[in-house]
Amino acid sequence: MDKPTVHDIAKEAGVSLATVDRVLNARPGVRTKTIEKVRAAVTRLGYVRDTSAANLSRRRAYRFVFLLPEGSGQFATSLKHAVREASRSQIADRVAVDVHEVPTHDPHAIVRALMRLNSDALDGVAIMAPETPQVRDAIVRLKEAGTAVVALVSDLPNAPRDNFIGIDNNAAGRTAALIMGRFLAKSGEILVLTNSMRSRDSLERRLGFDTVIASEFSGQSVLPSIEGFEDPERIRCIVRDVVTNRPNLVGVYSTGFGTTPLLEALRSSGRLKDLVVLAHELTPTTRRALLENEIAAVIMQDVGHLVRSAMRILRAICDDIPIFDAQERIRIEVILRENLPAA
């Protein structure tokens, strides 16, 4: 009736506890035939290892590093905050997390940060960074040293990362397009502000957006992307320019960072209330803009979920246990003024 333990397995298989242990932990010195006997007993009794007891016994401690974009961006800040919060919860039981900040726009700095990581004192890494050949090489090295690696927010599909934790950015762009198309009362031009076309997530969002607008809202035309490069002044400048020269502008889609200067520029142009504005990520800026009806909708991913997911997945990889996908799928959330989560 009770959950079977290793002792039960030993009895059932007609072997000693030591042998069961050797089999369960893949230690050498057991005949294939004996291994089979133990395996059979395990399935027959439906044994599942008690992870907490196991971790207690082996004094397991997980050491994880989060490699996040440095600086004051609101999204990055909330990510860091989420990491801190998660490390104080039950999920972070027996795990020590370090956050390393790197300037995202500098590929060398990212690689340097990756190289600095000491695989001996490390069990897993969660990386949010654009993919470059050097980054890929650094990840190969980490993997070879036996470190678990997951990509966060922006995928690194050509690197041997164990997992990607984030939304399907193409679908996010498509979703934004659908909302934009249906919210727009009249047809005209749509401005897309991206972070940088080098970063995979921005690119995919733009692609998805264009596809849906083209196929379903052919009355609308999408202007070439503006790259913000995280430079507020640059963004303000360009946006002002577009607003002045494009009287036919009806919508704006901000795919990444830079929503704050964007809104500033639009606000001062006096045309903000006539435009349908969509942005990504719920930050103090976008929250306020939603409440003021300046932004129609925000596409977001739950950073708390993102971080907790990363921790659970890193643990699962370290322990070589299966990942519970349903729990880890990051949703593309659509936030309107009325379903704004409590601050």
Q: Which residues bind a second copy (CB under 8 A)?
A: 50-53, 55-56, 85, 89-90, 93, 171-172, 174-175, 177-179, 182-183, 185, 208, 212, 296, 302, 304, 308, 324, 326-327, 329, 331-339, 341-342
Quick one: 61 or 115, whose CB is closer to DNA?
Answer: 61
User: How far is Cα 166 from Cα 251, in angstroms, rounded to an integer?
Assistant: 26
Helices (H), 225-258: 232-245
Name which of a second copy, DNA, none residue 308 binds, using a CB cut-off of 5 to 8 Å depending on partner kind.
a second copy
Binder of DNA out of 33, 320, 342, 343 (CB under 7 A):
33
Decide: is 16 part of the binding site for DNA (CB under 7 A). yes
Q: Structure tokens of 154?
A: 């922006």
- The minimum distance between CB 71 and a second copy, in angstroms, equals 24
Q: Structure tokens of 78?
A: 């909330």
Measured in whole angstroms, the distance separating CA 213 from the mean position of its chain's CA atoms is 26
Decide: is 28 part of the binding site for DNA (CB under 7 A). yes
42-61 residues in contact with DNA (CB under 7 A) are 47, 49-50, 53-54, 56-59
Kind and range of the H or E run holding 7: helix 6-13
Measured CA distances, 290 to 256, 261, 276, 332 (Å): 16, 16, 11, 17
Q: State the Rg of the chain over Cα.
A: 25
Name which of a second copy, DNA, none residue 109 binds, using a CB cut-off of 5 to 8 Å depending on partner kind.
none
Residue 253 DSSP class:
E
- The number of residues that bind DNA (CB under 7 A) is 30
- The minimum distance between CB 43 and DNA, in angstroms, equals 15
Residues whose CB is less than 8 angstroms from the CB of residue 284 and which lie 6 or more positions away in sequence, other chains included: 74
Quick one: 179 or 279, whose CB is closer to a second copy?
Answer: 179
Name which of DNA, a second copy, none residue 302 binds, using a CB cut-off of 5 to 8 Å depending on partner kind.
a second copy
User: How far is Cα 250 from Cα 165, in angstroms, rounded to an integer?
Assistant: 34
User: How far is Cα 255 from Cα 228, in angstroms, rounded to an integer?
Assistant: 10
Do 120 and 147 meet the contact criterion of CB atoms below 8 Å apart? no
Given the rule CB under 7 A, which of 12-20, 62-70, 195-203, 269-277 is the region that contacts DNA?
12-20
Decide: is 30 part of the binding site for DNA (CB under 7 A). yes
Q: Where does this chain bind DNA (CB under 7 A)?
A: 2-3, 5-7, 14-19, 21-22, 24-25, 28-31, 33-34, 47, 49-50, 53-54, 56-59
